[in-house]
């Protein structure tokens, strides 16, 4: 059987970052990029350089660090966009420019206000211009699934002639259904004369929940690159989920005959956790492949079946996607050597100073928590690696709350060597704390999301809080951990304020974001 590789083009850092409320700074993008490379993605779209300084910086930084994967920058079909993308990709080992231009009647008439001939000419000129900058150019006729087939054929043929090595067919608004989308790919493969000179790619959105199905239908009809995101993040309802596409191809070799990807599937869970943590977008427990319940068997009949023979109710081995029970590793009496050894095994490479600082946090935690799990260790190390300058530091806090008492919080902060203190009441203890921080720091923001979760299980589990705060139209994510959820929440809020002041933040402006302060009220 002929073996053929399906290229995995990850766009978590570009389309994924367009998820409402997901904003990543340069350092966070780099962390995700390095993990995407470990995961084995063939191409990663690191950003859209023309849109913001943060994105330009992020593409530059990712380009400098990534060795094996192709690094891609998105550009509209204009010289300025292409110049910026080329500039941002200068240091990349394997750079790619991805040019896009809408080709559907709806987009041409209402958005671009241009006729077919002009669109075709602009697309061809843009590809030629990008090819003068770089050999690896991809072109996307945006809204391809709603483009008139004759025009789509023409555009695909002409951009390949102009030098596009990859032509991506986006289902931009997630409108297609699998049988139809598969036929579109087949039609292009059968009728575009020079189609073999380019890789056909697909990019499916999830508005009807069909992103993965459409991508797989396309693969069965000749697409050899799939654009997708970790956890299915992306604009509106998101993009096709990388983990689902990869595992479908791997598990159903009988259907996807001879097709394979180079993804190290054991890295999927870790990648999903990292992306969820840094974007602040939680993964639903019943999410396929990497959701916390994906390998839990609740009913007695199922449990009995799995105990007798795993394959009765489990089609994937949990270990194959990176699920592994957390191991008890260290405790109060563990020394620095055992600690740094375990940190290395978890994949962190820290300087001696960073190990010292992490070891101190570990000891503080070990005073409060008997058993320290791998996930706890990862959380405390990552908190320390958060390269945000600590303009404000939480010094102390006190909260009084009760059924018949209006919650009141006193918060002490350090700000540039000075101590500031403020007291505030709120609808709940967390709300009171947040208001006290605002008073103490003078930084006014609007809370748009607030979540707390446990890093590991048990009564003394490390709690992790994440907040999204809108400052002047910019949404910033803040995170904090502690065995006390109120302290974790305060740390998260202070972290968000510090992030506003740190450079290179790529957070997106969302004027329509609704205040969810109420969410924190009764917490």
**Site residues (CB under 5 A) for Zn ion?**
15
Report helix, strand or coil for 205.
strand
**CB-wise, 166 or 172, nearer to ligand KIV?**
172
| Tokens (6 digits) for 417 | 């060597």
Question: What backbone phi and psi angles, to 5 degrees, belong to 316?
Answer: -120, 140
**CB-wise, 182 or 234, nearer to ligand KIV?**
234
**CB-wise, 74 or 120, nearer to ligand KIV?**
74
Rounded CA separation 199/219 (Å): 12
Q: Does 157 bind ligand KIV (CB under 6 A)?
A: no
Give CA 83 to chain center in angstroms: 26
Q: Does 140 bind ligand KIV (CB under 6 A)?
A: yes
Give me the least distance between CB of 98 and ligand KIV, in Å please.
7
Q: Which stretch binds ligand KIV (CB under 6 A): 153-161, 168-176, 245-253, 374-382?
A: 168-176
Query: Considering Cα of 217, then 218, then 223, then 225, what sign does the dihedral take?
Result: negative
Q: In this chain, which of 31, 203, 270, 508 binds ligand KIV, going by CB under 6 A? A: 203
**Alpha helix stretches (DSSP H) within 292-351:** 300-308, 336-345
Report helix, strand or coil for 341.
helix
Q: In this chain, which of 17, 57, 142, 431 binds ligand KIV, going by CB under 6 A? A: 142
CB within 8 A of 2, min separation 6: which ones? 258
Q: Does 201 bind ligand KIV (CB under 6 A)?
A: no
Residue 261, Cβ neighbours under 10 Å: how many? 21
Q: In this chain, which of 95, 170, 182, 507 binds ligand KIV, going by CB under 6 A? A: 170
**CB-wise, 201 or 489, nearer to Zn ion?**
201
DSSP tag of 111:
I
Give me the least distance between CB of 242 and Zn ion, in Å please.
14
Q: Which does 100 bind (CB under 5 to 8 A by kind): Zn ion, ligand KIV, none?
A: ligand KIV
| Tokens (6 digits) for 46 | 């690191």
Q: Which stretch binds ligand KIV (CB under 6 A): 165-173, 313-321, 365-373, 398-406?
A: 165-173
**CB-wise, 100 or 359, nearer to Zn ion?**
100
**CB-wise, 100 or 129, nearer to ligand KIV?**
100
Residue 350, Cβ neighbours under 10 Å: how many? 17
Q: In this chain, which of 172, 271, 481, 489 binds ligand KIV, going by CB under 6 A? A: 172
Q: Which stretch binds ligand KIV (CB under 6 A): 22-30, 82-90, 164-172, 389-397?
A: 164-172
* Cα-only R_g, the chain: 25
CB within 8 A of 160, min separation 6: which ones? 167, 192, 194, 195, 197, 198
Contact footprint for ligand KIV (CB under 6 A):
15, 74, 100, 140, 142, 168, 170, 172, 203, 205
């Amino acid at each position: 059987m002929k073996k053929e590789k399906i290229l995995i083009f990850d766009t978590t850092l570009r389309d994924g970052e367009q998820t409402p409320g997901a904003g990543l700074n340069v350092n966070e993008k780099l962390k995700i990029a390095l993990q995407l490379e470990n995961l084995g993605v063939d191409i990663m779209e690191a950003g859209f350089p023309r849109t913001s300084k943060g994105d330009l910086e992020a593409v530059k930084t990712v380009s400098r660090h990534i060795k094996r994967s192709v690094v891609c920058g998105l550009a509209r079909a204009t010289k300025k966009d292409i110049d910026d993308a080329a500039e941002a990709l200068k240091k990349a080992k394997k750079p790619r420019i991805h040019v896009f231009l809408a080709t559907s009647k709806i987009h041409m008439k209402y958005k671009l206000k241009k006729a077919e001939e002009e669109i075709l000419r602009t697309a061809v000129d843009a590809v030629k211009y990008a090819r003068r900058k770089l050999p690896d150019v991809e072109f996307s006729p945006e809204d391809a699934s709603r483009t008139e087939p004759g025009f789509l054929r023409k555009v695909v043929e002409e951009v390949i002639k102009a030098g596009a090595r990859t032509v991506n067919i986006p289902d931009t608004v997630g409108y297609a259904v699998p049988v139809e989308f598969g036929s579109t790919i087949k039609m292009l493969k059968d009728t575009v004369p020079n189609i073999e000179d380019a890789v056909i790619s697909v990019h499916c959105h999830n508005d009807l929940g069909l992103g993965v199905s459409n991508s797989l239908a396309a693969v069965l009809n000749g697409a050899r690159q799939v654009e997708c995101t970790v956890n299915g993040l992306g604009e509106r309802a998101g993009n096709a989920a990388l983990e689902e596409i990869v595992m479908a191809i791997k598990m159903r070799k009988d259907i996807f005959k001879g097709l394979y990807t180079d993804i190290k599937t054991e890295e999927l869970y870790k990648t999903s956790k990292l992306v969820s943590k840094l974007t602040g977008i939680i993964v639903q427990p019943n999410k396929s492949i990497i959701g916390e319940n994906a390998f839990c068997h609740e009913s007695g009949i199922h449990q009995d079946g799995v105990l007798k023979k795993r394959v009765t109710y489990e089609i994937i081995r949990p270990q194959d996607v990176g699920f592994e029970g957390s191991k008890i590793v260290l405790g109060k009496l563990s020394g620095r050597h055992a600690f740094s050894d375990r940190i290395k095994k978890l994949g962190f490479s820290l300087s001696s100073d960073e190990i010292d600082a992490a070891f101190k946090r570990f000891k503080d935690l070990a005073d409060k928590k008997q058993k320290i799990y791998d996930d706890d260790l990862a959380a405390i190390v990552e908190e320390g690696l958060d390269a945000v300058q600590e303009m404000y530091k939480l010094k102390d806090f006190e909260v009084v709350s009760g059924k018949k008492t209006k919650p009141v919080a006193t918060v002490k902060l350090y700000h540039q060597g000075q101590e500031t203190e403020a007291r505030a009441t709120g609808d709940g203890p967390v709300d009171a704390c947040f208001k006290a921080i605002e008073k103490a720091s003078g930084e006014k923001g609007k809370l748009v999301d607030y979540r707390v979760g446990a890093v590991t299980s048990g009564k003394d589990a490390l709690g992790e809080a994440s907040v999204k705060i809108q400052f002047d139209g910019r949404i910033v994510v803040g995170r904090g951990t502690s065995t006390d959820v109120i302290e974790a929440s305060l740390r998260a809020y202070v972290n968000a304020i510090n992030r506003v002041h740190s450079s290179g933040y790529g957070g997106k402006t969302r004027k329509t974001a609704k205040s969810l302060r109420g969410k924190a009220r009764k917490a």
